[in-house]
Structures are given as C-alpha cells and as structure tokens.
Structure 1
Amino acid sequence: MPSSPSTAPAWTKAPWFKPVVIAVAAIVVLAIVVLLAKWLRSTTGVSQFIATYPGHATLPGDTPTGLPAWLNWSHFFNMFFIVLIVRSGLQVRYTTRPQGYWKRNNKGLVKTKGQPKKISLDLWFHLSLDVLWVLNGLIYVILLFSTGQWKRVVPTSWDVFPHAVSVAIQYASLDWPLEDGWVNYNALQLLAYFVTVFIAAPLAILTGLRMSGAWPAKAPRLNKAYPIEAARRMHFPIAIYFVAFVIVHVFLVLTTGALRNLNHMFAANDGESWLGFAFFAAAVVVIVAAWFLARPLFLRPVASLMGSVTRN
C-alpha cells in the first residue's frame, strides 16, 4: 500500500523549528532545576548541609596565596590555542575540499624510512596548534608542581565532594556562594579544573595522537588494544567538553565579580582596577585577529617553512 502523506503541519519542517524546540526545552529544564534547588534550600536538612559545607574545601596549610604572572601567561596561551584548535578541528571534520595540502620534508632531525604522507593544510594547522598547546601544558604542569600551585587545583581532602554538592545547589538556586579565587577556589571549580587539566587534556592528547600520522602503523598488538575507532569516538566529545567548559568558565568569570576575576587571571593581582580587563580585551583582540588570519592565504607561507605546500 502507498504510504500516507505526513499529517504534521508544514511549519514543523521549517529550519527554525528544531532550534526553537530545543531552546524552549532547555529553558523549561533550567526553570525546573532552579525551582527544585530553591525548594531544597528551604528544607532544614539541606540548609544545615550548606551551612556545614559552604563551598570551599580544606587546603593544605602551605598552599600559596594568589596567582603568579607565569600562570597568567599560561592561561592566555591556553585560551589562544584552545580557540584555534577547536576552529581548525571543525574545519578538518567538516571540510570536504581542502584549499591546500602539506607534506613534511623528510630531512633534519625527524626522518622516517617511508615517504611522508600528504595531509590537508587544515590538518597541518590543527596538529601544529596541538604541539604548541601540549608544550604550553607541559610548562604549566612543571611550574604548577614546582611552585606548590597544584594544591589549588588538585583535591587533597575528601570534603571537596560535599562542598561541591553544596556549591552546585547554591548555583542552581541562583543564590551563589561567596567567591575568593585569589585564596581558594570553590570545590566545584577545583574539581572542574582538576578534570580539565588532568583528565580531559590527557585524553585529548592520547586520542589525537592515535589518529595522527605519528602513531605507529606497524604495531598490531598496540593497535588492537587501542583501535583508532575508539579514539575517534572519544576525541570529538572531549572537544565538546572543552567548549562547554570555556562557555561556563567565561560566564562565571563575568558574573561573579568581573574586574577582580580578570585581575586574577590576566594581571596577577587581587584588586578591582581595570588593568585585568585591559589585558583581557587585548587578548580577545589577538585571538579574533588570529581567527581571521588562519586562512590558506596566510597559512601557506608558514607551512612552507616546514614542508612542501600544494593546492591538490
């Protein structure tokens, strides 16, 4: 029998329909979460729980106070590379006709027996950014542990978990906890930074390395234990995590004392002057400029310094 025509209204097939439905559903879910959190805070048990665990986990006594200048620089470079890595990664994922190709010159310190493979200019840019991001991360981790700053982003007591639950309830109820990031991040921040630095970042590196040409092709046992399909399934969700983290991070920075937070992150001081904002604005200008300059016209001359560039 011939299939009956669809009875759905024509407007449900409009391109704006699904985004609107998703937006409305998200607003409804957020409203329910807020109302539920407010109700929980009105109960005696949850009220006493928040009083007992206001939001800041216990830190070791010798934890340093404040954020040094090297951490500001590392934060800027991390922000710079993450934005461009996401941009170039999306280009690699969705571009069907690359506007250029790159092949490594098999000379110098890095030599291989086989002929280097040709890759798209977008993939070259993505991998180059990855290398710089990893280098910045290594310097960050070395300085983090050599200066004691790790104690601010690595949980050192189990009370971080009840404090984190308390902070989540306070955020959800729109009655946010008192912030003093110069001395002690709240427990939810601490866990988020720990997951990002010590779990999400290494997973991004390991999955990206598995999909890159640097991974040994003639290693059957290793490739069977860690198949490339598994890396591909994980790599994109990890990128989504980083995007979500950045969005939430920027939102909270700007809504929980913007000037003071920006001074912490960009000017290495605990004041409320406009210096941190000025550095932040300059950083945004640099990133936006790099976003628009990351085009084949400007990438080809740089890529040609490291290999041969062709149009096909």
Structure 2
Amino acid sequence: PSGPKDIASAPAATAAVGSTLLRRGLPRVSGGDPWPPETAVVIESLIERKRVAAPTTQEGTETSGAQEEAKASAPLPQPPASRADPKPTKSTNPKKPRSRTAILVFGALGLLGVALAAVFFTRWLVTLDFMRDFLTAYPGETALPAGTDPGFPAWAQWQHFFNFFLIVLIIRSGLQVRRETRPPGYWTPKWSKGSDGKISITSWFHQTLDVLWLLNGLIFVVLLFVTGHWARLVPITWEVIPNALSALIQYVSLDWPTENGWVNYNSLQMLAYFVTVFIAAPLAAISGARMSGIWPKDAKTLNRLYPIEWARAIHFPVMLYFVVFIIGHVALVFATGALRNLNHMYGGQDAVNWTGFWIFFGSLLLVIGAWIAARPVVLAPLAGLFGRVSSR
C-alpha cells in the first residue's frame, strides 16, 4: 500500500517518466475519492512506457506484423568471414605444383642421360693406346693364394640365405622406426623395473633382428678364416686397386670382364664384399648398439667419447649403402648369367640349370612371407615371450 509520501511524490515521478497524466473519474463508492487515485498515475505511466516499447494493442500488433514482413523481405545478412577460413582469392596466373610422378620421370630420364654419356665416353676412352695397355696389364682380377679351394661350401650357402633374409627385414623395420610417430605397442624387458628400458614393439623387432644378424655374421667370419675361404674376400696385394678400376671401366663400357665367380671374384667384387663384411657391417653394429637400449646410459665418460649424434650420423648412411649394394649385387647376378650364378650360391654347383633358381625362388617366398607377417598382431605374442607388451 502507498502512503501519503508516495502520493505526494507522484507528479515528480510522472515527470521523470515523461508520461501523460490520466484523467480522474467518479468515485467507485458513495462518498469516496475520485477514481483512479493519484498513485495510479505513476503506475499507469510505467505501463504506458512498457506498451510503447512492446505494443500489445491491435495497432501495436499490426505494426509488429509490418516489421516482421519487412524483415522477411530484407536480404539475409552474410556471416562474417572466419580468420581460420579466409575467402579464397583468384590468382591471375596460377601455377600447378609438379606431381611426384613427373619429378620421378624427369629424374629417371636425367640418370639415363648421364649413364648413356658415361657409356659413350668410356667406349671412346678404351680405344686409346694408353688405356689398352692399362687393361692388358690389369685385366680386372688378382690371383688367389695357392691352395684356395674353388666353389662355395654348404655353410656359405646357408649363411648367404640367412644374411639375405635378415638384412631385408632389418632395412624394413629400420625405416619403420625412423618414420614412426605413434607406435602400435610397447615392449619392456622382464628384468627391468617399472618402465626402464621400454621401447616400441617396432624397435624391439628391429633390435632382435640386429642381434640375429650379428650372430650370423660372427659365425660367418669364424668359418671364413677357419676354412680358408677368406682369400676370396680379403685383398692381399695392392694390385687389387688398379684391377678394380679396370673392372669398373669394363663394366661401364658394356664390355664386361669375364665372370668366373666359382673360382675367383674380379677385384671390384672383392673390394665390394670386403667393404660390406669388414667395414659396413661393423659400423652398422657399433652405431646401432649406441642407439639401442643395451647401451649404458649412466656411463658419462663413454657417452662423452661416443655421442649418440655420431651414431645417428653413421647408422642411416650405412643402411643406404646396404640398399645400394643389394640392388647392384642382384642386378649383376642376373645380368651376368642368372642360372649359373644362382647355382653357385644356392645350388652348390658350377652348372647352368634351374636348380639354383628354384631354391632361390623358394627363399624369396620365405622373405616375402616374413615381410607380410611382420605386423603388430604377429609381433606382440613373440615379444611377449621375452618381456611385457603393453599399449602404452
């Protein structure tokens, strides 16, 4: 209820609101004051202001309908451009990026051009008198020590297969480790405490293959020197260098040196096998061991003398060397008499028949099967035999 003070302040409130004063009529009861009272002036004025802001009368309803119709006929406002998704602009001179296929094609054509130029230049070079004398003095191979047995014993054939089987999987798993961002699983040794020594399951597979490859290599080197077969791979005279150059010139000129791998390799082959067995393989082993979990992390002096950055700088180029060696080796095996060369290493005989080829073909199927099977669903149970496998 309003008191006398509220009634006295009604005109001031009305002026503040800015509404028109209402006309007072007859009293509602006999002998009473006129209706409405003065306090109703303020209340009605406030209601009037609300009505003006949001009309509820028939006229206001028509006005609101007209406004809605005008809004409907007006064009819809366009949303503002997003900063993250700017409006594309048309380029007056668009340049399409070269596809990877085109780059490969141009690169292959460039290499082919360089190869042809080298062939033509070398064929011209061997016609010169001094080069003829050089090729006569150094035919491309050096004599073996007396008593060196020809051929390839059974252990050399098995070692060759194991090495081929393991090195292919090592290269595959090594490339996976290099580009892996989210491992499919992790392996922790049984003897470790907590998460010490935890590595990805791909790294476990790669390091396991490395251990088997090193074991196979050690057996090979021991048998190499025990049986005297080392003379086929280890140079014993400096004449191997000019003879290797002579063999290289003959290869490039397409007038290839005489192949007699059952008895003796040419000097270029000998140097390639020597570098692979006695230089590249130890470098791969030493650099790989430095980056593996078997390396002592707390050996500060040893780690300072052999930083891990050195190992990383060595390991990948050595892997590339093995890739190039395998490609060149297989290419020459097939280009210089495939059936006879495959018989040497797989058939154990110096003959031209299909025995060695079918043994090689079977070994190739085993390598392909292992390549396909080397997946987490297969590797996880194997890794679980030697440690704990987890998803994190």
Deviation beyond 2 Å, 4+ runs, structure 1:
6-18, 112-116
2:212 to 113, 120, 132: 132
- Offset of residue 125 of structure 1: 0.2
1:226 paired residue among 297, 306, 315: 306
1:194-273 counterparts in 2 under 5 A? 194-273=274-353
* Structure 1 match to 2:128: 43
CA distance 1:248–1:7, shift in 2 (3 Å):
farther
Q: 243-252 or 26-35: which moved more? A: 26-35
Identity percentage of aligned residues: 53
Equivalent residue number for residue 141 of structure 1: 221
* 1:299/1:58 CA distance change after superposition, 3 Å: same
Asked if 1:58 corresponds to 2:143, the answer is: yes
Mapped to 2, the partners of 1:116 and 1:260 lie a distance apart of 52
2:105 pairs with 1:20: yes
Gaps of 5+ in 1: 1-5, 107-111
Asked if 1 retains the 8 angstrom alpha-carbon contact of 2:235 and 2:271, the reply is yes
Q: 1:302 maps to what in 2?
A: 382
Is contact 1:63–1:149 with CA below 8 Å preserved after alignment? yes
Which stretch shifts more, 12-21 or 204-213? 12-21
CA distance in 2, matches of 1:262, 1:63: 21
What SS is found at the alignment partner of 2:196? coil
Q: For residues 11 and 173 of structure 1, do their structure 2 counterparts lie closer, same or farther at Cα, with a shift above 3 Å needed?
A: farther
CA distance in structure 2 between the aligned counterparts of 1:10 and 1:51, rounded to whole angstroms: 57
1:220 shift after superposition: 1.8
Shift of 1:118: 1.1
| Structure 2 SS opposite 1:13 | coil
Kept after mapping to 1: 8 A contact 2:185/2:389 = yes
**Change in CA separation of 1:80 and 1:7 when aligned onto 2, cut-off 3 Å:** farther
**Offset, 1:9:** 7.9
- Secondary structure, counterpart of 1:35 in structure 2: helix
Distance 1:177 1:12 in 2: 46
Q: Which residue of 2 aligns with 1:283?
A: 363
Amino acid at match of 1:104: P
Is 2:138–2:246's contact at 8 Å kept on the other side of the alignment?
Answer: yes
Residue of structure 2 equivalent to 1:118: 198
Is the 8 Å Cα contact of residues 34 and 172 (structure 1) preserved in structure 2?
yes
> Following the alignment from structure 1 to structure 2, what is the Cα–Cα distance between the partners of residues 283 and 7?
58
- Over 3 Å counting, the alpha-carbon distance change for 1:13 and 1:74 in structure 2 is same
- Write the distance in 2 (CA, Å) between the matches of 1:273 and 1:10: 57
Conserved in 2, the CA contact under 8 Å of 1:91 and 1:122?
yes
Aligned residue for 2:62?
none
Does the aligned pair in 2 maintain the 1:69–1:267 contact within 8 Å? Answer: no
Question: What CA distance in whole angstroms lies between the structure 1 residues aligned with 2:98 and 2:331?
Answer: 33
Q: Which runs of 5+ in 2 are unaligned?
A: 1-90
Query: Match of 1:231, as an amino acid?
Result: A
State the AA in 2 paired with 1:192: A
- State the AA in 1 paired with 2:106: V
Aligned-pair CA distance for 1:14: 2.4
Equivalent in 92, 103, 123 of residue 177 of structure 2: 92
Q: Distance in 2 between matches of 1:9 and 1:180?
A: 59
Secondary structure (helix, strand or coil) at the match of 2:100 reads coil
The whole-number CA distance in structure 2 between the counterparts of 1:252 and 1:310 is: 45
Q: Does structure 2 conserve the Cα–Cα contact (< 8 Å) formed by 1:100 and 1:120?
A: yes
Deviation, structure 1 residue 65: 1.0
Offset at 1:226? 1.0
For the aligned residue pairs, the C-alpha RMSD in angstroms reads 1.7
- Name whichever of 79-88 and 263-272 sits farther off: 263-272
Q: Distance in 2 between matches of 1:113 and 1:11?
A: 56
Distance in 2 separating the partners of 1:28 and 1:181 = 31
Residue pair 2:188, 2:195 contacting (<8 A) in 1 also = no
Output the CA distance in 2 between the equivalents of 1:172 and 1:8.
46
Q: CA deviation at 1:58?
A: 2.1
Q: Which moved more, 1:181-190 or 1:47-56?
A: 47-56
CA distance in structure 1 between the partners assigned to 2:347 and 2:391 by the alignment: 44
Counterpart AA for 1:22: G
Amino acid corresponding to residue 101 of structure 2 in structure 1: W
Q: Which moved more, 1:33-42 or 1:249-258?
A: 33-42
CA distance in 1: counterparts of 2:147 and 2:314, whole angstroms: 38
**Offset, 1:223:** 1.2
Following the alignment from structure 2 to structure 1, what is the Cα–Cα distance between the partners of residues 322 and 175? 13
Q: How many residues align?
A: 302
1:73 aligns to 2:153 (yes or no): no
